[in-house]
Chain A
Amino acid sequence: MVKVAVVQFPGSNCDLDALEILQKTVKVPTDLVWHKDLKEDQYDAYVLPGGFSYGDYLRAGAIAATSPSLETIREATVAGKPVLGICNGFQILVEAGILLGAVLRNAGLRFVCKWTRLRVESTRTPFTNLAKKGQTLRIPIAHNEGRYYLDNDQLAELERNKQIVLRYVNETNIPTKDSNPNGSLDNIAGICNKEGNVMGLMPHPERASLPILSLNNQPDGRLIFDSMIRSFENTVEGENR
């Protein structure tokens, strides 16, 4: 039976939210694992939740990235297991060097909490395999440091390897300056590693996984978690054959 871990760091604050959605809505067996207790790669997938790990002191995600638990995560990554970093979790993955680039202070220099429109750019990840390419998802953001950045060469590499997974777009599904809430390079909201099994995104899918909490009652965030379940099924089928 598959089992997912939500990794809890000191200062994580969306850990219980992700746990609740995985356990009660997506209905996948999930443990909340204190980062110091994550010594072995014994789960089938990992979620690094949002929050302010270590108070965002130094840089968002910088201190958590040095937690020994990240070595376990790195092993899982290499083993091809699905790893999802949400908001602060994305920042941690970037600081740990598991994902490319950097996440800088928002262009407006203020914390921004709002619902965004995201265009799915790649369906090859275990978190977007249920989406159609170009599909729009409505999921909220809430962060102070969400401005994704990297240099031109690396951007070209991301593009070439199809590592850009989500972009902020407007009502007509086009990435524009107005629809970019934090000044992210190329309106990038989420990326994956070269292999595609690790995804980091600034928006919070767990906040858009219940109709009652979502805009127009559409729980678009669930697609991210449901895709993960689907990827397990594929893996299990593959192994059986």
Chain B
Amino acid sequence: MTRSVIEEPQSWTLVEVQKPNLTDEEIRYAVKKLQREPNEVEWAMLEAQWSEHCSYKSSKPLLKRLPSKGPRVLVGPGFDAGVIYIGDGWVVTLHIESHNHPSAIDPYGGAATGVGGVVRDILSLGTRPIALLDPLRFGSMDSLHTRWLFDNVVRGIADYGNCIGVPTVGGEVEFDTFFERNCLVDVVCVGLGRKDKLVLGEARDPGDLVYLVGGRTGRDGIRGASFASKTLAEKSDTERSAVQVPDPFTKKLVIEAILEAVDAKIIQGMKDLGGGGLTCGLSEIAAKAGTGIEIDLNRVQTREPNMQPAEIMISESQERMVLLVREENERKLVNILNKWEIGYAKIGHVTRDSLLIIRRGNEVVAKAPAKFVAEAPPVPRSAKRPEYLDALAEVPEPAMPEDLAQTLIELLSSPNIASKEWIYRQYDHEVGIRTIVKPGQADSAILRLPNKRSLALTTGGNSKQCYVDSYWGTVGVVSEAFCNLVAVGAEPVAAVDHLQFGNPGNPEVYWTFKEAIRAIANYLNAVGVPCVGGKVSFYNEDSMNRRAIKPSPVIAAIGLVESKTPKVLQALSREGDDLIVVGNTSDEMGGSEYYEHIHKLVGGRVPRVNLKKEKTLLRALLRTLRRGDVESLHDISKGGLAVALAEMSVQGHKGVTVDIDTVPNKTSRMDNLLFSESRSRFFLETKPKNSASIVNSFKRLGIPSAKVGTVTDNGIEFLSKRQVIITIPLDEASRAWSEAIPRAMEATP
């Protein structure tokens, strides 16, 4: 068969000869270190690898402040994923990634390849991806553009995750005008594997062969890392070639083939190819071990002819992995890859000389120390407290709503609070037969593990509060995640963070970034849980008005549930049971849904967390849950205690009557008491005979707690001074909460 080859004119080359997209200092540093002017290929490689996306050059020193050690931590930050030991020879891996810029341009492909990327990270450690969670941030639901992004991001995640057979078991969504043209699409992946079969991204042994496995290398995703490391300009629609093309079927084959090879113990080292492509993968895997790698580009299978060396080196084509294998195991590896019918090429070998040598045939097209390529010079950034914070701190109190019942209905139908069933119906959340607690049932999902334990997973984020106060907002985000874990009876064991901000060159943006890291470090130190990895995404700005997104630190956390801990969901279970509140409610309305959605008021005092008491509180709640006296439980977060109670009520098809005056509080107004988002609070349902002992067990520790009401067969009812202040029939609350998102999305043309 003859094949026609399309001769492409040189001007089609996407990587043009031009001044590299690096700072003058970086250019000088490169010339000085190499003792010569890098050539065109080397500049392209440095530009990709030294992008913010790959190098963390603005964030690395600060990230070191996060606690990362613990008895269960086998692998911490710096690798593709964190590794936690969960007993009996089993490990869990955890990582978070985002695909913000690609999703803003091509929501379907961007979100899908975002899933693909984080799944590869989990796979590179030799572990099977077993769950995904998706924290998402979009503009206002009223906007057609937002609905288009939202619809396609959800479809992209669904089509990819469903096809590769990894259940999407959780996530969270926030709508805010600051994300109108720069949506945030984060994906958390959790993996499961054997401790003795872990593979690291290190090229330890010179002589090992380098295999490039999976999809072919094409021109998609060229300069993706650089694209992600600048702000979305208006011309970004023309940068669609920077977005990779998803192929979940190939990914599924890659997963199974690699896990078969891992099982056969023939993989010496492994690295996924994501941002920065081969440049990033090869330089990092060699730099980690102090070795070098030599490859021949002629051996790389390309998707199209005439690809230039620079293009091959920085292409971010999806579904590709770099595998290191001993020569004697080469045959075994090839047999496995052939069985699964996936592409592969032996492209080179590990060397002793610490150099990254890229050849095309006999011609050396790039040559530089691997460590030099892998590690960009850090960029010092200055920080300055934003002036807008003063204005946000001093906002006038809003008028008291005339009809508090109506206010509660409006809150329940706010897209930030309303049921997310429309989203998770589209995700296969059952595949893998591990999902014990399913999306929407409780504050965290729970997965069955092969040993007697089970695994709780959750995410937390709250850009509205982080904007008004990035320190306390971020503390609250971490607290939310940990409260979610404990609410299902899990002991928190590890977290990963994803820090999403605007341009780090803006001192005000950088200040909020520093505050967020300080907050995460302080919280994790207070509760004694390590951060085992994470991700930083800068340059998230609105393309039209150049406004940075609201600071968006997102936390994913996992916890272990012991076998005897009963399964407790958030739906109310039995009429006649008592309702207990734990935690104190204060006038902390800053960034609350009540202020922002009802009063269109941005600002105020953001909820704080008593870091001295947090660990005691989490422990006490865990003890209570393990005793088995709790019938249902929900943490109190967005929308405050009125919303939390309504959610429990609607889900359990049971009514509640609550005497609001009995709730422990330091609030000055009824609306604040009902809708404040004060942290570390919970509602518990228990049989009346257990009420007193549960309340006392918290009070003894100095944690406010009280019996505040009962479960009924009626509607949702709040009393104050023996007067009914809110009464809502269950079906009305249910409609408001359940129908808001589907109704908005059905209207999408």
* B and A form one assembly: yes
Binding site for B on A (CB under 8 A): 10-11, 13-14, 16-17, 20-21, 34, 50-52, 54-57, 110-114, 140, 142, 144, 204, 206-207, 209-210, 212-213
Interface size class of B (residues with CB under 8 A): 20 to 34
A180–chain B nearest beta-carbon distance, Å? 15
A51–B249 alpha-carbon span in the complex (Å): 10
A92–chain B nearest beta-carbon distance, Å? 15
Residues B430 and A51 in contact, CB atoms below 8 Å apart: no
- For window 128-163 of chain B, which residues contact chain A by CB distance below 8 Å? 155, 158-159, 162-163
CB of B435 within 8 Å of the partner chain: yes
CB of B431 within 8 Å of the partner chain: yes
CB of B433 within 8 Å of the partner chain: yes
Instruction: Write the B155-175 contact mask toward A (1 if CB under 8 angstroms, else 0).
Output: 100110011110000000000
A110–B432 alpha-carbon span in the complex (Å): 21
A210–B430 alpha-carbon span in the complex (Å): 12
Residues A213 and B253 in contact, CB atoms below 8 Å apart: no
Instruction: Write the B541-571 contact mask toward A (1 if CB under 8 angstroms, else 0).
Output: 0000000000000000000000000010000
Q: Which of B380-388, B419-427, B680-688, B723-731 contacts A (4 or more CB under 8 A)?
A: B419-427
Contacts of B434 in A (CB 8 A): 213
A55 CB contact (under 8 Å) in B155, B248, B426, B436? B248
A212–B453 alpha-carbon span in the complex (Å): 13
Residues B435 and A57 in contact, CB atoms below 8 Å apart: no
Closest A residue to B342 using CB positions = A10
Give the interface centre of B163, B435, B436 by most chain A CB atoms within 10 Å. B163
Residues A204 and B430 in contact, CB atoms below 8 Å apart: yes
Residues A11 and B252 in contact, CB atoms below 8 Å apart: yes
Contacts of A17 in B (CB 8 A): 431-433
Residues B424 and A113 in contact, CB atoms below 8 Å apart: yes
Contacts of A113 in B (CB 8 A): 424-430
Contacts of B436 in A (CB 8 A): 212-213
Give the interface centre of B162, B247, B431 by most chain A CB atoms within 10 Å. B431
A41–B252 alpha-carbon span in the complex (Å): 28
Residues A111 and B162 in contact, CB atoms below 8 Å apart: yes
Q: Which 3 A-B pairs have the closest CB atoms?
A: A13-B165, A55-B249, A142-B428
Residues B249 and A110 in contact, CB atoms below 8 Å apart: no
Contacts of A51 in B (CB 8 A): 165
Contacts of B253 in A (CB 8 A): 10-11
A20–B430 alpha-carbon span in the complex (Å): 15
Contacts of A213 in B (CB 8 A): 430, 433-436, 448
A162–B338 alpha-carbon span in the complex (Å): 44
Contacts of B164 in A (CB 8 A): 13
Contacts of A209 in B (CB 8 A): 433
Closest A residue to B341 using CB positions = A10
A212–B436 alpha-carbon span in the complex (Å): 6
A90–chain B nearest beta-carbon distance, Å? 16
With A17-B433, A113-B430, A213-B434 known, 15 other A-B pairs at CB within 8 A are A10-B253, A13-B163, A13-B165, A16-B432, A52-B165, A55-B163, A55-B250, A56-B163, A113-B424, A113-B428, A114-B425, A140-B430, A207-B430, A212-B448, A213-B430
B23–chain A nearest beta-carbon distance, Å? 43
Closest B residue to A181 using CB positions = B425
A29–B189 alpha-carbon span in the complex (Å): 33
Residues B448 and A142 in contact, CB atoms below 8 Å apart: no
Residues A112 and B425 in contact, CB atoms below 8 Å apart: yes
CB of B19 within 8 Å of the partner chain: no
Closest B residue to A144 using CB positions = B162
Residues A206 and B433 in contact, CB atoms below 8 Å apart: yes
Closest B residue to A18 using CB positions = B433
A73–chain B nearest beta-carbon distance, Å? 20
Contacts of A50 in B (CB 8 A): 431
CB of B340 within 8 Å of the partner chain: yes
- For window 395-432 of chain B, which residues contact chain A by CB distance below 8 Å? 424-432
Contacts of B430 in A (CB 8 A): 113, 140, 142, 204, 207, 213
Contacts of A20 in B (CB 8 A): 433
Contacts of B722 in A (CB 8 A): none
Instruction: Write the B327-357 contact mask toward A (1 if CB under 8 angstroms, else 0).
Output: 0000000000001110000000000000000
- For window 424-478 of chain B, which residues contact chain A by CB distance below 8 Å? 424-436, 448
Closest A residue to B424 using CB positions = A113
A39–B249 alpha-carbon span in the complex (Å): 25
Residues B163 and A210 in contact, CB atoms below 8 Å apart: no
- For window 240-259 of chain B, which residues contact chain A by CB distance below 8 Å? 247-250, 252-253
Residues A57 and B249 in contact, CB atoms below 8 Å apart: yes
Residues B249 and A52 in contact, CB atoms below 8 Å apart: yes
Residues B432 and A52 in contact, CB atoms below 8 Å apart: no
Closest A residue to B429 using CB positions = A113
A79–chain B nearest beta-carbon distance, Å? 28
Residues A54 and B433 in contact, CB atoms below 8 Å apart: no
Residues B433 and A13 in contact, CB atoms below 8 Å apart: no
